[in-house]
Amino acid sequence: MPWLPDDDRFLHRALELARDASAFASPNPAVGCVLTTATGDVLGEGAHLYDLRDHAEIVALKDVAVRGHSPYGATAYVTLEPCSIHGRTGPCADALLAAGISRCVVATADPNPSVHGRGLAKLRSAGIAVEVVPASSEIAQQARRLNDAFAFSIVQGRPFVTLKAALSVDGKLAPPPSQRSAEAAPHWLTGPAARADVQQLRHTQDAILTGIGTVLVDDPSLTDRTGQPRRRPLLRVVLDSHLRTPPTAALFREATILRKQKPEYGDTPNTSDLLLFGTAGADSAALTATGADVELLPELSPLAVLKALHRRNIRSVLLEAGSRLNAAFLRAGLVDKLVLYFAESELGPDALPFAVGGPSPFAIQERLSNATRATFPHGDSEDIRITGYLHDPWAAV
């Protein structure tokens, strides 16, 4: 069938539903679905919420029934290819066939190699008219960006890593350690608007990761302070080889014991929203007594940590760290996306670099694909945000 005038509108609505539910979908992808009549009347709609199990197509079909309609002959607009395998639920492609839909418009194929293309083939073989949006279109790109982390982690077997840094105009991360201390007021390079944007970035992530150096110098809490609801708390992760994190750190004052908060929370082994990684042989007694999770690894390499987080169903990691950890992840090729905020102030040659012994932020910008620029007011000046990819999360799809 040809592309219809309302197709864009209903796909954008499905994307809106998926986006609104994205903080409730991980470790599954965020998906939205709209069911309409052939004349463009909405019959039902819905999005996937992990805890409620039903995929977006099933939620939409149930909404059709609640509204007293029939889905027979309907068009289904879905942001991600309907699944064709049994997982926590039955195949959505089968459910759409059983409902008697006549057409399905899909924003992007499923990146999961065990599913990719099979749901579309099942619908087509049953005589359903299937339209897949061209991958280069704006709608397809929006649908993909919404599930970058899922697409990447399902293929690569590790979380998708976004490195975020606030930098001076001369590319420095912070004043020298001699000029900073955990007792002093925070040294903010960027203004309130850019810092609020960082909180929105945190809200989209499964985990935030830093190193013991940042904890000892800055004493951060590393929380999601948007106030917006989410399915599971932001997992705060510290790489601390010898487990030197003081039990009085702000991290522990903000800790949430998940087994008490949500007894049915069973899709990851986390019992706290605070996780510390140390090396084998480190004494973890003092920190586990605080209620934090501690995992000891044979080596504390970036890849070993990411693999351990993947085993905990963590799809996305926001790296907010110091120069050494930034450099370690960059050298290992384990940074997939960069979000850099530049303030107009200078810190000078003695300030901490973006990545000690690694590339400057200006050099690494040259390697970014799909780079975008945004500005945020900061007094009489403005902060600049540069966002781009070092690895395409959908390259294998």
SS3 177: helix
| Residues pairing with 339 in the sheet | 164, 387
Catalytic residue among 45, 57, 81, 320: 57
SS3 10: helix
Count of other CB atoms within 10 angstroms of residue 176: 12
**Catalytic residue check, 57:** yes
Greatest pairwise CA separation for the chain in angstroms: 70
Residue by residue, DSSP assigns 258-326 as HHHH-TT--SSS-SBSEEEEEETT---HHHHTTT-EEEEES---HHHHHHHHHHTT--EEEE---HHHH
CB 48 within 8 A of CB 21: yes
Instruction: State the SS3 of 102-166.
Output: CEEEECCCCCCCCCCCHHHHHHHHCCCEEEECCCCCHHHHHHHHHCHHHHHHHHHCCCEEEEEEE
Active site residues: 57
